Amino acid sequence: MKKTKDILKKGMAHIEAFFKLLTIKKWLILTFSVLLVTIITVSFFKVSSNHDFYATQELSYDYSNQSLSQAYNQTLYSELKQNYIENNIQDTQVEETVTTLEMVGDFVDVNDVNYGEIVQDYQSQKSNSNDILLLKENNDITWTHNESESGLYYLAIDFYEIQDNINQAQIEISINGEPQFYEAQTIVLKSKWVYDTYDFMLDRYENEIMPSSHKVKEWTYQNIYDYRGMHPGYFAFYLEQGDELSISYVNQEVLIGQIYYVQNESFMTYDNYLNMYPTANVVEDEITVSARNILYRNNPSIRLRTEQDPSNLYYDTQFLRLNTIFGDSWQNSGDEIAYEIDVEEAGFYHLSFKYRQYMIKDMTVFRKIRINGEVPFDLFESYAFPYTTNFINRTLSDSDGESIKVYLEAGTNEIVLESVNYPYRDTIETIQYVMSNIQALALDVKRYTSGGTDKYRDWDIEAYFPEASDNITSWARLLEETYDVLLPLSDIEQPSEIANLMVAAKRLDNIASDINKLPSMMVQFSDGDSSINQILGDLMQRLLRTNLEMERMIVHGDVKIEKPYANIFVRFFEGTKRLVLSFVNNPYSASDRNDEDITVWVNHPRQYIEVMQALIDQYYQGNRKVTLSQMPDQNKLILANASNQAPDLAIGVDHWIPYEFAIRDAALDLRQFSGYEDTVNNFTKGAMIPYVFQDGVYGLPETQDFWVTYYRKDILNSIGITEIPQTWEEIIEILPLLQSYGMNYFVPLAQYSGLKPYVATLPFIYQFGGDLYASDGMSTAINSEETLEGITLMSDLFTLYNLPKYVPNFYNHFRYGLLPIGISNLSTYILLETAAVELDGLWEMDLHPGVYNEELDEIVRYSSVGGQSSMIMSSTEYPEESWDFLNWWMSTSVQSEFAFLLQSTYGQAYFWNTANIEAFKNISMPDEYKQIILEQWEYGVEASRIPGAYMVERSISNAWTSIVFDGTNPRQALDEAVRVSNREIIYKMAEFGYTENGEIIKEYIVPSIYNIDQWLTEVDHD
């Protein structure tokens, strides 16, 4: 023992002596060496694969859940499916064809000017001479069900898409005039989109850009199924003899051929599949297909991105190469991607994917896999891809851990991966059920308390809502059961993604234990950012997003496939090179210019610029080359102009900027150019107002906003509001009912905490017939009787009628149901369309409220439309060429093509709200919304600009604040606003040479909605 102690003592002494000899430099070298060795060692143990199997079939086909949301006015398919099972309603074995001769509708024959060739093609395919039908608005296609056997029938349809919309065609199927279930109201007919070219183009900076896509127009056979990927198999319709079936228009016209009664989708087991090929062997081959080599996809929003990893099939150190499916674009159920695989020898192959799934933490997403048009066996109906933050390899395996064998014929084979959500359906429906019940109970309690939330007040909730506590407790148990059901879909003991189910259950238990405190706990229960409703809604939204990124697919035999990452030395070397190159490689930099080119600074994101540049390079036929540069900051235009470094054109600047340049002689008057009048006829008249200075017009609107009414159908219907208010008087009439439930109406004034800009105040001025300035521009006119009436209403809404004075985010309050109706703009539309999945089918849009004008016998609905704009700088050496380009850019054909390319390349979230009215009519958007926006734009208006206009804007805002918060009389507040505004206007007019010593020495013309027509014509300045 002593000897051991002596050895240890000597050893420690040597170690101590070693460290004492270390200098700071040696310490740093030692630390770096240890760190480097550790990193290198760990890199060899980096996770490179996950081949675990997850059983999904039981969850996919479980329809025992009775907890279904009642927020929809129509029966959900799950409820109908439960009824079929409980009542033992069986599938029929009927397989029949309903020819077009048996249908009633709008027929099209071979002699039709527009569709004759399509009819002829279909007749050739079907070997008959039957005409086809055109499905259009208010013209249904119907037929009578003549089969004697009552039971469940499954349908298929032949269709031909005739429109180029980004949105896929939808139809409604009704039985005896009514859809049997909610989902039957929007049956999606799948599109097929292919690249225009498979040779990826390079931009002028040698970076790859996404090729544009086009819709393949062909006759397509499709079974009627749940495109949302929630229900496996085909939709079942209960039919009896004599029932009338009808197909109705939803969003676009389509040609309809034959209808078919078919058998439901079913799949053999994997063992039976293997037994079909008793003599087949695994082929020892390896075929790698890059994820970018897409044969087709059904959603043009699915796009590629660059993953800078040297192990990828397509990679360049300096330039961007598109090599990976972007997960955020392939996250909606029903989206599918197809690939072609060429194999030399028929036999069994394994399938592997280099992928990443980072959206649903610790959980899986699912893909339905079809081989040559068919799901070969049950395991491929919803195959799981588990969570991983890094790209890894996944070889598809069975429940025994063996690599799955897929039989491929020699030659070309097609493999399709479709995003589905079957195993999460029950969870999503349970969450919807709990959320809708929480919302309903919250509304009832708020009605009882008149929206009161005072925690020091006693409420007898138990007496008025005796079942509330038990119901809340049952919801908590339901969430806990759901959590347990999901655990097999994760390899983590406590998956963080679904942890909020347990959090919500615990909070529900706490509320149920002291139910009388519920009114003061609404922020936790249903209303707040961290309420139970909110955390459940966020979870549901994530479960609906089946995000998956993929870099390659590998078809192979029993061979070891390449690791999904490069070794540490390669990664370090490539990373260092990219770091060095980043200092010199800066495409679309505003500092790069060629004096022989037309230089255009663009205030849009890079994705927009790439599509713009591709359009220009391909279609613009001007005399000079056009070079786009990304504008670092639109305010730097002033500095660039002062230093003689201004571009020839500026695109995408705020709508008030052209005036600021015009008054300083830094922008060109566009009325002097040929074609001006034809161009401006494409714009809303009111949108042209801010670009006017004196006799000239110095800019064009590029994009245009819209302010409309958004409302929650489910909530308003539940409280008895069936007619959407069209005037401010009607809004005031519904406020007591809304507020009795603790809800309210939203107007845009509430989203601005400080200055209330013109966008929020203009409607109240112009709807009442007021104006901002006197006709000579030397004073403001906001103290007129008309404006006083508008400002008084604008204030009364917040003082007398108790509208919320500050709402930081209308979208969130709209989702929670706190503000189920209100006025908002394009940004809310995009969020509702792309992010609020839980509100699908529960919201609508209507016109901006206005003031009824007896003389005109109409509701005057003026609202702001200001967006982004374009202008030509006065310093340009190429004015005619610059106008030629600007005129081309804002033309209907180019704006339509740009809007289409933007969405077909980068997805539906890249909505281009072009100011060109004719181009906007071609935008991919539901027709009912488009018509509302176009009608609202007829009342589009913007504030005219004069020297000192900013002070008028500020004074109106200050007047509102004084009236609402200080109780100032509206007349007194406006008189003070006029005094301050006029003083600033006179000062600025003197600065720009319009007055001297208070006397007008030069006339100033003020444009407004009442006289804008005089600037919409061309003039000759020669």
> What's 602's domain CATH number?
3.40.190.10
Are both 220 and 291 inside the same structural domain? no
Q: Residue 783: which domain range?
A: 707-862+947-1003
* Residue 118 pLDDT exceeds 60: yes
pLDDT digits (tens, 9 = 90+) for 772-792: 999 899 999 999 999 999 999
Say if CB 1010 and CB 666 are below 8 A apart.
Answer: no
Are both 850 and 831 inside the same structural domain? yes
Are both 489 and 630 inside the same structural domain? no
Q: Is residue 939 part of a domain?
A: no
Q: Is residue 211 part of a domain?
A: yes
Q: Is residue 809 part of a domain?
A: yes
* Residue 535 pLDDT exceeds 70: yes
How many domains does the chain divide into? 6
* DSSP states along 284-320: --EEEEETT--SEES-TT--EE----TTSSS--SSS-
pLDDT at 772: 94
Q: Is residue 990 part of a domain?
A: yes
Range name among 194-208, 258-272, 981-995 with the lowest pLDDT average: 194-208
Across 952-974, b (16+ Cβ under 10 Å) vs e yields bbbbbbbbbbbbbeeebebeebb
Q: Is residue 68 part of a domain?
A: no
* Residue 336 pLDDT exceeds 80: yes
Q: Is residue 818 part of a domain?
A: yes
Comparing CA positions, the residue from 989, 990, 963 lying closest to residue 975 is 963
Question: Cβ atoms within 10 A of the Cβ of 200, count?
Answer: 15
pLDDT at 715: 86
Which pTM was predicted?
0.81
Are both 312 and 288 inside the same structural domain? yes
Say if CB 116 and CB 110 are below 8 A apart.
Answer: yes
* Residue 208, helix vs strand vs coil: strand
Q: Is residue 940 part of a domain?
A: no
pLDDT at 937: 96
Q: Is residue 895 part of a domain?
A: yes
Are both 519 and 434 inside the same structural domain? yes
* Residue 1022 pLDDT exceeds 60: no
Comparing CA positions, the residue from 51, 135, 774 lying closest to residue 393 is 51
**Range 728-742 average pLDDT:** 91
Say if CB 531 and CB 524 are below 8 A apart.
Answer: yes
416 Cβ contact list (under 8 Å, min separation 6): 336, 337, 338, 339, 369, 370, 373
Main-chain dihedrals φ then ψ at residue 614, nearest 5 degrees: -65, -40
pLDDT digits (tens, 9 = 90+) for 285-329: 999 999 999 999 998 889 898 898 999 999 988 888 999 999 988
Block residue for tokens 């071609």: 922
pLDDT digits (tens, 9 = 90+) for 808-825: 889 988 987 889 999 999
Main-chain dihedrals φ then ψ at residue 849, nearest 5 degrees: -65, 155
Are both 855 and 993 inside the same structural domain? yes
pLDDT at 301: 83
Are both 858 and 765 inside the same structural domain? yes
Q: Which percentage of the chain shows pLDDT scores above 70?
A: 93
Are both 821 and 884 inside the same structural domain? no
Range name among 27-36, 260-269, 440-449, 621-630 with the lowest pLDDT average: 27-36
Are both 348 and 392 inside the same structural domain? yes
Are both 845 and 968 inside the same structural domain? yes
**Range 544-557 average pLDDT:** 93
Are both 560 and 522 inside the same structural domain? no
**Side chain identity at residue 588, one-letter code:** Y
Work out the pLDDT band at 530, boundaries 50, 70, 90: confident
Q: Give me the CATH number covering residue 142.
A: 2.60.120.260
Are both 539 and 555 inside the same structural domain? no
